[in-house]
Structure 1
Amino acid sequence: MTKYLYLVFLISACSTNPSGKQVLKKSIEFHDPNSNWNSLLERFSLQSDFIYPETALYNLLIGLDNLNKRVSYSNETLAQRVDFTDTTCVVILGDKSCEQTAWTKNFYHFILGLPMTLQNDEGIIQESVEPMTFHDEASYRVAVDFEKEKWHFYFSKADYHLVGFAFNKNFESKAEEIRTNGLIEIAGMKLPKTRSWWITTDSIRPIYSGRDEIMGSSSWEKLTN
């Protein structure tokens, strides 16, 4: 009888943790309660301030037309602009080629849209969730595996907002950890306002890399705008 009660208690304790997909669903409900992300048509103003591996302070404009799969990347500091559709790329301003800036299309769409951008089929969301503390925040850690990268996302236990994430390329020991701070309301969504980036390895203390911050946004209406 004692063994039976212990087994029931153990099963009950294990079942109290939500699955990875359940945590993600609740986080999306927090950040995008009206499901506006997929139809978003907005231009983001960002400030990117990094000191490692080199110092760079940029003012950026990122246009997102999610319904038509358009992304516009503008670096006002360097006088660069490149516009992308799902299948095309056009250099509007500057001397950077489409090949040199190709990474910006998926990067900014993915980062700015977290956690909503985890809904696609590119990553495998692990069902097992690990309760833990992420920089003093009681959190759920959800693992998501991509083809060449392993990511961990940390969601607040209190309200499921995204408190940070980490990833390592090609499954190497060197990784990047990103901590979010604050929320900004854009198009009915509550998006992480600031991200601070840290380089982590197994052998040295984390190195502060820099931060990027959403300063605001405006409507992005025209294809040629």
Structure 2
Amino acid sequence: MKKQIPFLLFLVFIQFQSLQAQQETAQQVLEKAIAYHDPNGNWGGLKTTFKVTMTTPERPERVSTIQVDFPKQVFNLTVKQAENTSHFKITNDGCDITLNGSAEFSEEDKEKMRLTCERGNFMKDYYTYLYGLPMKLNDPGTQLNPKVQKKTFKGKEYLVLNVTYDAEVGTDEWYFYFDPSTYAMEVYQFYHDESKNDGEYILLEGIEEINGIKMPKTRAWYVNKDNKYLGTDTLDKI
């Protein structure tokens, strides 16, 4: 007489097989997150203008107007803070910089306000990376950990993707937190050295739709180590 697997054990086995089938890969989670944030695939051909207002403790408000034209590979950034307005235009041919409407400015102002092409390119990468998430996680040089983590952050459970980068792209380690039902990105976090608990986390709230792309309305920045508040970016259409 053949031995039979107990019925309850059989049910457990079937449930285990079903759970395995339901487990998503990191790439599948990323694809669903991109489908939520950029359902029509508009990011790659984006041509638009938007405004970001940054408020930080004990510093004057900074208003940045960002104009991107990805098909022509042109990036314009106008920054107004206190009594000064600086402008960077970044193209494949180089960059143009003005301060208060003039291309002539002192070395003192140049150093104090970081009016350099290096700074302009840094800001281009900064804005196009953060407002291009999660779509930018498909860029070359991005190393997506295939394992999807589940973490509870600020009392809510998330699906979490872990990302590192090729050395020529970046050295920080990032974690991206997605709502398990909608796949909306609600938190991201980075470390220079995770063993030291350095770096920052960013809480995303609200949605501002720019050319059909769901971007975070506000981003509030905090230090990982002690939860110190650093500042908030607020996005607005123009």
Q: Which residue of structure 2 lines up, in the alignment, with residue 97 of structure 1?
A: 116
- Offset at 1:140? 0.3
Q: In structure 1, which of residues 71, 78, 81 is the aligned counterpart of residue 75 of structure 2?
A: 71
Normalising by the residue count of structure 2, what TM-score does the alignment of the two structures yield? 0.81
Q: Which has the larger radius of gyration?
A: 2
In structure 2, the residue matched to 1:110 is 129
Distance 1:197 1:134, change over 3 A: same
Residue type at the aligned position of 1:70: V
Q: Cα distance, 1:93 vs. partner?
A: 3.0
For 2:19, the equivalent position in structure 1 comes to 13
Query: Equivalent residue for 2:215?
Result: 191
Distance 1:71 1:169 in 2: 28
Q: Distance in 2 between matches of 1:58 and 1:163?
A: 24
Deviation readout 1:156-194 (Å, 9 max, x if unpaired): 011001101000125553111001000011111211111
With the length of structure 1 as denominator, give the TM-score of the two structures. 0.85
Pick from 145, 150, 153: which aligns with 2:176?
Answer: 153
The answer (yes or no) to whether the contact 1:46–1:216 under 8 Å persists in 2 is no
1:37 alignment partner in structure 2 = 43
1:127-151 residue CA offsets vs partner (Å, 9 max, x unmatched): 1011222323331000011231100
Quick check: 1:74–1:81 contact (8 Å CA) kept in 2?
yes
2-side partners of 1:87 and 1:13: how far apart? 53
- Rate the CA distance shift 1:212–1:20 in 2: closer, same or farther, 3 A: same
Please give the secondary structure, in 1, of the residue aligned with 2:146: strand
Deviation at 1:29, TM superposition (A): 0.5
Q: Tell me if structure 2 keeps the 8 A contact 1:36–1:187.
A: yes
Residue of structure 2 in register with 1:24 after alignment: 30
Q: 1:90 to 1:170 in 2, by over 3 A?
A: farther
Aligned amino acid, residue 187 of structure 1: N
The alignment of Structure 1 onto Structure 2 pairs a total of residues equal to 212
Task: For CA contacts below 8 A with separation 6 or more, give which structure has more relative contact order.
Answer: 1
2:64 to 44, 60, 65: 60
- SS state of the match for residue 27, structure 2? helix
Q: Classify 1:86/1:119 alpha carbon distance in 2 versus 1 (closer, same or farther; 3 Å).
A: farther
The answer as to 2:159 corresponding to 1:140 is: yes
More strand per residue: 1
Identity of aligned residues (%): 26
1:137/1:56 Cα in 2 relative to 1: closer, same or farther (>3 Å)?
farther
